[in-house]
Structure 1
Amino acid sequence: KISYVVAGILILGTVENAMNLLNISPFAQYVVRGLILLAAVIFDRYKQKAKRTV
């Protein structure tokens, strides 16, 4: 859904801005961004699996 994409972009943008304001190193920012994306993929897979079993 487009609404999920927009929400994801807003969340990532907010997190990136917060990390910049907190002077977090660029490497740590990449790690956090990667973990957020990984969590989103895992959540989506879990949601799809739950939908198929119902």
Structure 2
Amino acid sequence: MNELTRASLAELIGTFILVLVGAGAVASNQGVAVAALAHGIILASIVYTYGHISGA
């Protein structure tokens, strides 16, 4: 698998996870702080996991 394909796949997976967790946090109706915290934690996790692949 070439580098562009790997980076694109990492971006696709990362975006999917961010939207899934973010929408779930908002839909849980726990408040703005919980939604913001969920977005921040998942974004940090995605960058830590896929950053070396996509160059984030």
Q: Identify whether the pair has TM-score above 0.5, normalized to the shorter chain.
A: yes
CA RMSD of aligned residues (A): 2.1
Aligned with residue 40 of structure 1, among 16, 36, 46: 46
Match of 1:12 in 2: 18
Q: Which has the larger radius of gyration?
A: 1
Aligned with residue 37 of structure 2, among 31, 36, 43: 31
Aligned residues: 47
Q: Which has the higher contact order (CA 8 A, sep 6+)?
A: 2
Instruction: Name the TM-score, length of structure 2 as normaliser.
Output: 0.60
Structure 1 gap ranges (5+): 49-54
**Which amino acid letter does the alignment assign opposite residue 17 of structure 2?**
I
Structure 2 gap ranges (5+): 1-6
* CA distance in structure 2 between the partners assigned to 1:44 and 1:2 by the alignment: 11
